[in-house]
Structure 1
Amino acid sequence: MSKRNISKVAVLGSGVMGSRIACHFANIGAEVLLLDILPKEGSDRNKIVNDALAAALKSNPSPIYDKRFAKRIKTGNFDDDLSKIKDCDWVIEVIIERLDIKQQLLEKVDKLRKPGTLITTNTSGIPIHAIAEGRSDDFKKHFCGTHFFNPPRYLPLLELIPGPDTDPAVLSFLEEYGSRILGKVTVLCKDTPAFIANRVGVFGIMGLFHLVEEMGLTVEEVDRLTGPVLGRPKSATFRTADVVGLDTLVHVAKGVQANCPNDEQNATFALPGYLQQMVEKNMLGSKTGKGFFFKDRSTPKGDILQLDLKTLEYKPQVKPKFATLDAARKEDDLKKRMTILYTGSDKAGEFYRKSFHGLFAYVSHRIPEITDALYKIDDAMRAGFGWEMGPFELWDAVGVEKALKDLRDSGSGAGMTAAKWVDEMLAAGHSSFYKVEGGKRLYYDIASKSYKPVPRAEGTIVLGELPESSIVWKNSQAVVRDLGDGILCVSWNSKMNTIGAEVIQGLNKA
């Protein structure tokens, strides 16, 4: 890491993201200056920022490791305290998603900051180059996007988005600082609408919103199909939408549809009728108390009801029954489970094939548009959306050639075809997007048409990528590996990582 020191950070904007980003920097020991606008009335000029920070500290899960760390955060307002940024090493803008307002604030920041200060924006979709227009050369050199995912303490993704004038040394520093100090999975993105994770993730959600209508599935059925059994969070699809907020989701979807007219799946980002009606009725999810699910507090146990997408009325949940799900749940190995889901002969199997095909086709066309390297899409989806497998890893699991043939045979609609480079890869004798050779994980590089090592932070060891010869002892639940330099590593794969006789045997052996 370069010698740049980050001891004091200014966070401009104390909303949900700003206050929690401030807490995360306090977690790592930095002094934080958290600023926001003046209230429209009242004598307390810091009421907005103080109330926001107090709400963040009371939230669950907590954004801060220890309540005592909150003392590291000092609050203020833009009118009285913006000049204090001259003492900060990094200024992060986290205000409303309006280009004009961001530019107005950053114009002031440009005049007050000391040369060399890092300036970044947490925008989730406004072009980085547009935000930096009109700023000084030194500002542009030290400016880029740093898109944290909410909640910052718990979701590890940090997307880095350079502008046309960003100094490569700044990006290099932020990549390493994000990984080593902030504990993030840092993914370098191109300056395209919604960047990587939201572009792919919101496409996936919107695709399912349309597929549920096409297949006549219920809200609960889709959440059962797209949760832990698929290696994804328990909140799955519709519950995740409720938590995020339908207004937020719709904002991103509309932004992609408007700003990506040449996207072959542009129509997927259009709102289905029921979703449009929900927004109009203010059924936005958890923030309004009603969304795809509703907690009926009039019942003794506070029953959770699901939304009937045809009538927009709530009804009791009925546990779905799919033979494919029953079979998949018996398999602990995620790759083998994906094959079971993909090849299922019932309605669930049909659902997985349709949703997988749409996802596979879409991500293949996003290269080189949003990134040049396919592993970055997988990294972003695992770290930002909590997927255990990224799209290309999932495609590998079910078989690249098989899925490509199935996609063609399915006669899917316009845009539902894979990019030509996938055919070229297979024609050249490369059957997968990833492979392990010599203890290193390699990915298929589209530009060079060859495999390259997946970059790792210095000192990183991935056990699954070590050669078989590194294993010195194992049983059904524990493995002892020789890492070199006289170091042994014990790992175990017991159910729920419980420590039983075989795990203890492995520890004793080591």
Structure 2
Amino acid sequence: MKRSIKKVAVLGSGVMGSRIACHFAGIGVQVLLLDMVAKGAEESTKPAERNKLVNDALQAAIKSNPSPVYSKAVVKRIATGNFDDNMKDIAGCDWIIEVVVERLDIKQLIYTKVEQFRKPGTLVTSNTSGIPIHMMAEGRSDDFKKHFCGSHFFNPPRYLRLLEIIPTPYTDPEIVDFLMQYGDLYLGKTTVLCKDTPAFIANRIGVFSIMSIFHIMDKLGLGIDEIDALTGPIIGRPKSATFRTADVVGIDTLVKVAKGVAGNCPDDEAKNIFTIPAWLDTIVANNWLGDKTGQGFFKKIKSAEGKEIQTLNLSTMEYGPRSKPKFASIEAAKPIDDLKQRIKMLSAATDKAGEFYRAFHFSLFSYISHRIPEISDEVYRVDDAMMAGFGWEIGAFESWDTVGVEATVKAMKSAGYSVAAWVDEMLTAGATSFYKVENGRRMFYDQSSKTYKAIPGGESFLVLNNHRDKLVWKNSACRLYDIGDGVAGLEWSTKMNSIGGEVLEGINKSIGLAEEKFKGLVIANEGANFSAGANVGMIFMLAIEQEYDELDMAIRMFQNTMMRVRYSSVPVVTAPHGLTLGGGCEMNLHADKICAAAETYIGLVELGVGLIPGGGGTKEFVLRAADEMHEDEPETITLKNRFLSIATAKVATSAQEAVEMGILRKGADEIVMNLGRRIAEAKKSVIELADSGYTTPVQRTDIKVLGRSALGALYAGINGMWRGNYATDHDALVARKLAYVMCGGDLSEPTMVSEQYLLDLEREAFLSLCGERKTLERIQSVLKSGRPLRN
């Protein structure tokens, strides 16, 4: 049957339930969020009193940081109620998600109520992470069993991309297929099919990894700060590394999962790793459970300098100042941008860090090899789960490929670690890696058939680097690929994907080649962020040396390149994600279409370093403000809103908010829920634009600027902010420069001007600000500390 999800019921409004409700509301679904009648309100007839528990939980979720919603406006899609009065309302829902406490008896009571009111054919899933899914289906009707399975979201559901789908023996395969597709397309998730085994995939491997680190730490005599330095971004793991992650998740939760695996997996060859160290038992006994109790492995205290984070000494069980560990191999690896090269280097290091990495990798690789086919038949599902659920940049099997499977197996065996028989068979047969790329498709080694197979659905997830055998052009920062169907794809790799001369050269060259040989161009990359903006280091160097002619030329090149993006003879589509700031935002503002990941944080932030957007961003906001002006409202209102977005360096916290800010164009640009699909969607858009008869836009000469009539109002507002101490002297100076450009200069009356007129004003203002000492101080602060200076 054709199935659609228009309304979802979420049963349980705790941390997970309320945030799952928010995520569904964020994608446009109506949500019914239910929980128990508030304590003490059992006899009340007032809904507000009876629903206090669920309403308070929802409000707490909405106010939490980071926000669980793409836009505050979506909250109106969530209706609340309680199990006694409103369970009947689930009859109008297409999907019922149970998120109550992890007790089988309570879940069964809820399911009995659900069966009273649920209409046949309605999906029912559980978000449990600790109870076997098949046990929850026992005793239910055949229709319930057929439409029931596990749907394990990770917290916070908006940001962690993993959704584990766990069928029971009774689940209809069509239901599984539907949930896998729905999670991918509409919820933006990496949906991973799991077997009904303890802790499923991500928690089984993730908690093993953490417990293994605990044991290696004790063996090597390392401390908490040292471990977090070794297991964070340097090896492609989140900043929270190991111990900070445990504090965030909850140390009691970690211990519960570890004990659950140890108790429920008697045949696990490494079950001793799940044994809780004595110091961890003490921490739990002390109720030092992490963020939820105010202290765990770390504790925040007030000090003379403000707030200070202290680290727990596991030997004395006392907190003390954090240390900054120094490992020679880590210091040597930091300048290496390529993650795989860093991992290879660190794994071969001869210091204590290298010793740690070898022990950690040997333990992890041994464990994952033995989990195939116990928890998954396919290696890529394990890697997908770890990347999406635990934030690993590359998966465990891919890490094994990185350091060399054959050589590592020999070293593992010499060190006393075993590998599963299928790995030995794979190597004996001449297959030396778990993954390979053929014709732009990523293949995985399938242990059951002993052959390489294409990862299913891979055609929807276009990875530019998989087309490296179809390289068209490159320089030291950029790569241009033929990505098929007459479309070219440009990616670049610089620190924070900043945009300097080589990236600008790459954009110009790519557009030129696309105009000669292709239908159009996709601009995207697979870094952690699309772009943190222009290379301010280069700007600082030129400004400090007073090379103003060079600086003027660099700004002109940036502006001309952005205009080339706008006025090429073939469509140019961008696919931003993550941080898309300053110059990165300007590039998107000039594209024919933007296919943005839902999690795109985009804005013009130049005011933070004492500059104005100088790559066409100011011009573009003026142009859009002019187009948005209406006769029935003062013309200055639209311009003022655009001015404030730049003047406050406002960054959209989602692609949806970027639409509300006018950075993404409603109806013209596209929001792609699944991060991995955005480049494929951008390619489709290029083809659609080209095949529909794309013609080069005509440069605008009809942009209405308001001159003095708006300039006075903006100057008055800036002066008010300065007098109220909301803006420093330099803030006010920069804001006045911005206002001057956005009003088209000191014109006596509203006038029609060209894009080039505004670009010239923009460039002049940018250049003049580069000569300001306080601007240079701000840029220097960002370069040194990553934080702008308020001066």
TM range (shorter): over 0.9
1:137 aligns with 2:136: no
SS in structure 2 at match of 1:60:
coil
**1:277-288 counterparts in 2 under 5 A?**
277-288=282-293
Q: 2:355 aligns with which of 350, 354, 358?
A: 350
Provide the aligned C-alpha RMSD in A: 1.2
Q: How far apart, CA to CA, are the structure 2 residues paired with 1:112 and 1:337? A: 56
Shift of the alpha carbon at 1:508?
1.8
Shift of the alpha carbon at 1:298?
3.6
Report if aligned partners of 1:341, 1:348 keep a CA contact under 8 Å in 2.
yes
Matching residue of 1:337: 342
99-108 vs 234-243, greater mean Cα deviation: 99-108
Shift of the alpha carbon at 1:291?
0.7
Cα separation, partners in 2 of 1:248 and 1:76, compared to 1, 3 Å = same
Counterpart amino acid of residue 61 in structure 1:
P
Matching residue of 1:36: 35
Matching residue of 2:384: 379
1:105 aligns with 2:110: yes
Q: How far apart, CA to CA, are the structure 2 residues paired with 1:71 and 1:380? A: 32
**1:468-483 counterparts in 2 under 5 A?**
468-469=469-470, 471-483=471-483
Q: How far apart, CA to CA, are the structure 1 residues paired with 2:135 and 2:190? A: 26
Q: 1:388 aligns with which of 388, 393, 398?
A: 393
1:71 aligns with 2:76: yes
TM-score by length of 1: 0.97
Matching residue of 1:6: 5
Matching residue of 2:170: 165
Matching residue of 2:549: none
Matching residue of 2:496: 496
Matching residue of 1:88: 93
Counterpart amino acid of residue 457 in structure 2:
R
SS in structure 2 at match of 1:38:
coil
* 1:407-446 deviation line (CA, Å, top 9, x unaligned): 11113xxxx4111111111111111111112222111111
Shift of the alpha carbon at 1:111?
2.2
**1:391-430 counterparts in 2 under 5 A?**
391-411=396-416, 416-430=417-431
Matching residue of 1:442: 443
Largest Rg, 1 or 2:
2
Matching residue of 2:240: 235
Report if aligned partners of 2:206, 2:390 keep a CA contact under 8 Å in 1.
yes
Q: How far apart, CA to CA, are the structure 2 residues paired with 1:146 and 1:400? A: 33
Counterpart amino acid of residue 369 in structure 1:
E
Matching residue of 1:21: 20
SS in structure 2 at match of 1:306:
strand
Counterpart amino acid of residue 196 in structure 2:
D
Shift of the alpha carbon at 1:300?
2.3
SS in structure 1 at match of 2:444:
strand
Q: How far apart, CA to CA, are the structure 2 residues paired with 1:285 and 1:165? A: 39
Matching residue of 2:60: 55
Shift of the alpha carbon at 1:261?
1.2
Matching residue of 2:615: none
Q: How far apart, CA to CA, are the structure 1 residues paired with 2:137 and 2:186? A: 26
Report if aligned partners of 2:383, 2:397 keep a CA contact under 8 Å in 1.
yes
Report if aligned partners of 1:7, 1:31 keep a CA contact under 8 Å in 2.
yes
* 1:445-492 deviation line (CA, Å, top 9, x unaligned): 1101111111225533221212522x2222111222233333222211
Q: Which consecutive residues of structure 1, in runs of 5 or more, have no partner in the other structure?
A: none
Counterpart amino acid of residue 308 in structure 2:
D
SS in structure 1 at match of 2:152:
strand
Report if aligned partners of 1:38, 1:79 keep a CA contact under 8 Å in 2.
yes
Q: Calculate percent identity across the aligned residue pairs.
A: 61
Matching residue of 1:368: 373
Q: How far apart, CA to CA, are the structure 1 residues paired with 2:102 and 2:208? A: 20
**1:80-229 counterparts in 2 under 5 A?**
80-229=85-234
Shift of the alpha carbon at 1:283?
0.6
Cα separation, partners in 2 of 1:438 and 1:330, compared to 1, 3 Å = same
1:260 aligns with 2:265: yes
190-199 vs 477-486, greater mean Cα deviation: 477-486
SS in structure 2 at match of 1:165:
coil
Matching residue of 2:674: none
* 1:369-396 deviation line (CA, Å, top 9, x unaligned): 0000011000000000000111100111
Counterpart amino acid of residue 488 in structure 2:
L
Counterpart amino acid of residue 71 in structure 2:
D
Report if aligned partners of 1:438, 1:467 keep a CA contact under 8 Å in 2.
no
* 1:321-364 deviation line (CA, Å, top 9, x unaligned): 11111121121111111111111101110000011110000000
Q: How far apart, CA to CA, are the structure 2 residues paired with 1:301 and 1:451? A: 56
Q: How far apart, CA to CA, are the structure 1 residues paired with 2:269 and 2:488? A: 50
Q: How far apart, CA to CA, are the structure 2 residues paired with 1:341 and 1:234? A: 18
Question: What is the aligned length?
Answer: 504
SS in structure 1 at match of 2:50:
coil
Q: How far apart, CA to CA, are the structure 1 residues paired with 2:298 and 2:461? A: 42
Report if aligned partners of 1:478, 1:493 keep a CA contact under 8 Å in 2.
yes
Shift of the alpha carbon at 1:46?
0.4
SS in structure 2 at match of 1:155:
coil
Q: How far apart, CA to CA, are the structure 1 residues paired with 2:490 and 2:348? A: 35
**1:284-303 counterparts in 2 under 5 A?**
284-303=289-308
Report if aligned partners of 1:120, 1:143 keep a CA contact under 8 Å in 2.
yes
Higher relative contact order (CA 8 A, sep 6+): 1
Q: How far apart, CA to CA, are the structure 1 residues paired with 2:479 and 2:434? A: 27
Q: Which structure has the highest helix share of the two?
A: 2
Matching residue of 2:319: 314
Counterpart amino acid of residue 440 in structure 1:
R
Q: How far apart, CA to CA, are the structure 2 residues paired with 1:190 and 1:464? A: 31
1:463 aligns with 2:464: yes
SS in structure 2 at match of 1:297:
strand
Counterpart amino acid of residue 498 in structure 1:
S
SS in structure 2 at match of 1:506:
helix
Cα separation, partners in 2 of 1:163 and 1:68, compared to 1, 3 Å = same
Counterpart amino acid of residue 54 in structure 1:
Q
* 1:171-204 deviation line (CA, Å, top 9, x unaligned): 1111111111100000000000000000000000
Q: How far apart, CA to CA, are the structure 1 residues paired with 2:341 and 2:464? A: 20
Counterpart amino acid of residue 435 in structure 2:
Y
Report if aligned partners of 1:327, 1:340 keep a CA contact under 8 Å in 2.
no
Report if aligned partners of 1:192, 1:370 keep a CA contact under 8 Å in 2.
yes
Q: How far apart, CA to CA, are the structure 2 residues paired with 1:20 and 1:354? A: 38
Q: How far apart, CA to CA, are the structure 2 residues paired with 1:229 and 1:437? A: 29
Report if aligned partners of 2:441, 2:459 keep a CA contact under 8 Å in 1.
no
Cα separation, partners in 2 of 1:457 and 1:339, compared to 1, 3 Å = closer
Q: How far apart, CA to CA, are the structure 2 residues paired with 1:349 and 1:30? A: 49
SS in structure 2 at match of 1:239:
helix
